[in-house]
């Protein structure tokens, strides 16, 4: 049986080493060095270098684990355990010199996250959680907010960047939340959005067309902080990121109902 707290602390060490590399490159990065994987979907040597560093370090922590990594640096699949890595969540922010951007690493067991770390690069904040161990921000325990209603909530989201088939409904949903909440925020990093739900800065977050590496660690952060996460249908297991709704437990039913009204296919 693995010691998830120990593993989580070892993930943090690997992430902090990688953060130094990203921070060192941020001041001298030229946007002309960014490549495109698809429409508005950037990748850089920083993403690739960060992922390679993480793969090397995580391989030592739990050798039997496989990898699900955004840039494909490792393709080994584990039978029980897999690392899910986003080496630079918020690459568009990074290439433009805008914060936040983050490192997100999760360990999954049979597809469900059991340990995770999200590092706000340059922001001096590191969020971590392990199954049944709570959620921590810079070594202090955190919880989701206690706001009871959407009317008391600040909502985070992310704009679609290459999958526009649901854009009209998305704009309707966005407009609706503008009218019934404290407001909408769009930071450009889903892992940070989820971390902020976990520590009570946001009451709720929703988005579509994300990937597993964008959300795996953040899902665990929210759950261990006392919140709930599902897709637009309310399913809370085996989430891929294609649809995601996260909120504190009191707001969650109302929030899910509102999102589903506009976004459920």
Residue 66 has pLDDT above 50, yes or no: yes
For the chain, residues classed under CATH 3.30.540.10 are 4-141
Q: What is the Cα–Cα distance from 9 to 63, expressed in whole angstroms?
A: 16
Residue 41 has pLDDT above 60, yes or no: no
CA angle, corner 54, sides to 13 and 28, nearest 5?
95
* Token representation of residue 134: 């709570």
> What is residue 159's predicted lDDT score, i.e. its pLDDT?
86
Q: What are the pLDDT digits (tens) for 97-146?
A: 899 999 999 999 999 999 999 999 989 999 999 999 999 999 999 999 99
Q: What is the Cα–Cα distance from 21 to 36, expressed in whole angstroms?
A: 22
Q: How far is CA 239 from the centre of its chain?
A: 12
Q: Give the homologous superfamily in CATH for domain 4-141.
A: Fructose-1,6-Bisphosphatase, subunit A, domain 1 (3.30.540.10)
- The closest of 141, 142, 118 to 216, measured between CA atoms, is 118
Residue 40 has pLDDT above 70, yes or no: no
Distances (CA, A) of 61 to 23, 103, 254: 24, 17, 41
Q: Is the pTM above the cut of 0.75?
A: yes
Residue 30 has pLDDT above 90, yes or no: no
Q: What are the pLDDT digits (tens) for 160-169?
A: 777 788 889 9
* Domain 150-263, architecture per CATH: 3-Layer(aba) Sandwich (3.40)
Q: What are the pLDDT digits (tens) for 231-241?
A: 999 999 999 99
Band of residue 245 on the pLDDT scale cut at 50, 70, 90: very high
Any idea what DSSP says for residue 32? G
For the chain, residues classed under CATH 3.40.190.80 are 150-263
Average pLDDT over residues 12-39: 77
Q: Are strands 41-43 and 66-69 parallel, antiparallel or unpaired?
A: unpaired
């Amino acid at each position: 049986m693995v010691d998830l707290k120990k593993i989580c602390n070892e993930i943090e060490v690997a992430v902090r080493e990688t953060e130094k590399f990203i921070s060192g490159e941020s001041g001298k990065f030229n946007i002309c060095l960014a490549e495109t994987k698809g429409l508005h979907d950037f990748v850089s040597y920083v993403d690739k270098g960060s992922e390679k560093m993480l793969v090397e370090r995580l391989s030592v922590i739990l050798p039997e684990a496989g990898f699900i990594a955004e840039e494909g640096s490792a393709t080994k699949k584990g039978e029980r355990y897999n690392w899910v890595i986003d080496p630079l969540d918020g690459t568009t922010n990074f290439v433009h010199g805008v914060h936040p951007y983050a490192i997100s690493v999760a360990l999954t067991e049979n597809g469900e996250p059991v340990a995770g770390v999200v590092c706000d690069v340059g922001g001096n904040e590191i969020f971590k959680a392990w199954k049944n161990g709570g959620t921590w921000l810079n070594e202090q325990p955190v919880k989701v907010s206690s706001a009871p209603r959407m009317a008391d909530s600040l909502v985070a989201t992310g704009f679609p960047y290459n999958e526009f088939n649901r854009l009209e409904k998305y704009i309707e949903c966005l407009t609706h939340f503008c009218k019934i909440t404290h407001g909408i925020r769009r930071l450009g990093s889903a892992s940070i959005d989820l971390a902020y739900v976990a520590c009570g800065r946001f009451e709720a977050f929703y988005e579509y067309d994300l990937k597993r590496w964008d959300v795996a660690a953040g899902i665990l952060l929210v759950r261990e902080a006392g919140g709930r996460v599902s897709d637009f249908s309310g399913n809370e297991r085996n989430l891929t990121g294609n649809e995601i709704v996260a909120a504190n437990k009191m707001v969650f039913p109302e929030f899910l109902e509102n999102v589903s009204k506009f976004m459920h296919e």
